[in-house]
Structure 1
Amino acid sequence: MVFKRRNPLSFLRKMKNMIMPQSGWRRAANYLGHRVRRLPDSPHRIALGIACGVFVSFSPLFGLHFFYAAFLAYILRGNVIAALIGTAMGNPFTFPAIAGSALWVGGRIVGGRGEDLGFMRMQHAFVNAFSGLWNSFKSIFGYGQNELYRMGGFFQEVFLPYIVGGAIVGGFVATLSYFIALPIIRKYQLRRRERLMERARARRAARLNESKAKQDQN
């Protein structure tokens, strides 16, 4: 493959780069922006894909954001690649604000105490719940004990407020991101087409001048 790395990154290295890009967050953001603008699709589909990725970033389905974003973009006829890039909205710097806003809004709609946990305690609640779920799965095969009892309080107090609040706040931010991205992508594509047309005209003029020069010599 032309673009394959000469020395493939290990799994741990890939995970580290997701949390702290080797080139820095600013350069990583510029790279993602460049990739989005260069996608060969209509501005509407690209902006819609970005909005899908941003919306999914407010979901508590950690580990499934890529699949969720791709599925949502496919259903809504958005650009799937743009949706995957849009999930970068959820990163270690933004997750505290995302989780806090989702739990605050959801807690006032369905109740729960998620908004009072704080980010670190909320994170611990998720880890504890998924640990209980994993142990319960292993208990089916005779390893460990069934710990599904952990899920009841977690679902009512944290997960449900998060998913409801995340859908509301995420829907608002995703809509905003769509209307911000659409004119930017449209303007970029227009300028890119103009540059390509200018290069084509320049090449055509050069060929005509070359042909004329040869005719004059003859």
Structure 2
Amino acid sequence: MGWTRAFHYVKHRVNRLPDQPHRIARGVFAGVLVSFTPFFGLHFASAALIAWLMRGNILAALLATFFGNPITFPIIAVGSTTLGHLILGNRIDPDHPDSLAETFAAAGHDLSHNFYAIFTDEVAHWDGLRGFFAEVWLPYLVGGLIPGIISGIVCYYISLPLITAYQNRRRMKLKARLEKLRAKLPQRHKDKPASDDSDLG
């Protein structure tokens, strides 16, 4: 229920952005694309940069990064990493299902050890981080680009007509309100001279 409410909130905010539909749709493309990359912690900055380069709406790009969420991230991560290994020609050893967890653990150990080494005489270790880059981060990046671009294009072409239709409806409603106000103004002007003439008589 919470994620449904969040989805409708993001959709509502994107629709109400005061910008041209094609610029908003470009921002949506940028945000969705970035959701397929391993730049965790930098998704907002990356989406804003891509939207700026594409002359898209930056706020729409930031909102569209919510395409990546706790529900979709596991699917994106597994799919992107697997595809990346295939593209890079890496062999995934089925006899070691815990290798991914071991890679994360080794990288985490190197990070904590190297931070400790800054303040001591310990020698920094990089083997775990190199393994993480080669076995996880790089395949994730390479494998995420293709589905990210495809998903971004799909979301662009879905959002563009929806945003255009929404803005047209808002414009028509605003026009109808203005016409009602204009219709009331002549009636007031007609009543005013009549009262003035009676006073003069």
TM more than 0.5: yes
Q: Which amino acid aligns with 1:50?
A: V
Go from structure 1 to structure 2 and tell me whether the alpha carbon gap of 1:86 and 1:114 turns closer, same or farther (over 3 Å shift). farther
Q: Which moved more, 1:44-53 or 1:200-209?
A: 200-209
Consecutive unaligned residues in structure 2, runs of 5 or more: 197-201
- Give the drift of 1:183: 0.5
Q: Quote the Cα distance in structure 1 between the aligned partners of 2:93 and 2:157.
A: 29
Using the size of structure 2 for normalisation, the TM-score is: 0.86
Q: Quote the Cα distance in structure 1 between the aligned partners of 2:157 and 2:19.
A: 17
Aligned equivalent of 1:132: 110
- Give the drift of 1:127: 6.5
Give the greater-gyration-radius structure (CA).
2
In the alignment of these two chains, the number of paired residues is 195
Instruction: Write the deviation string for residues 36-59 of structure 1: whole angstroms up to 9, x where unpaired.
Output: 011111101100001100000001
Go from structure 1 to structure 2 and tell me whether the alpha carbon gap of 1:149 and 1:94 turns closer, same or farther (over 3 Å shift). same
* Secondary structure at 1:58 match in 2: coil
> Identity of paired residues, percent?
44
RMSD (Å), alpha carbons: 2.5
Using the size of structure 1 for normalisation, the TM-score is: 0.80
Aligned equivalent of 1:3: none
Q: Quote the Cα distance in structure 2 between the aligned partners of 1:91 and 1:114.
A: 26
Q: 5 Å matches for 1:8-23?
A: none
Greater RCO (CA < 8 Å, at least 6 residues apart): 2
Instruction: Write the deviation string for residues 2-21 of structure 1: whole angstroms up to 9, x where unpaired.
Output: xxxxxxxxxxxxxxxxxxxx
Q: Quote the Cα distance in structure 2 between the aligned partners of 1:214 and 1:172.
A: 64
- Give the drift of 1:139: 2.1
1:88 pairs with one of 48, 58, 66 = 66
Consecutive unaligned residues in structure 1, runs of 5 or more: 1-22
Q: Which moved more, 1:192-201 or 1:137-146?
A: 137-146
Q: Is the 8 A contact 1:106 1:162 kept in 2?
A: yes
Aligned equivalent of 2:6: 28
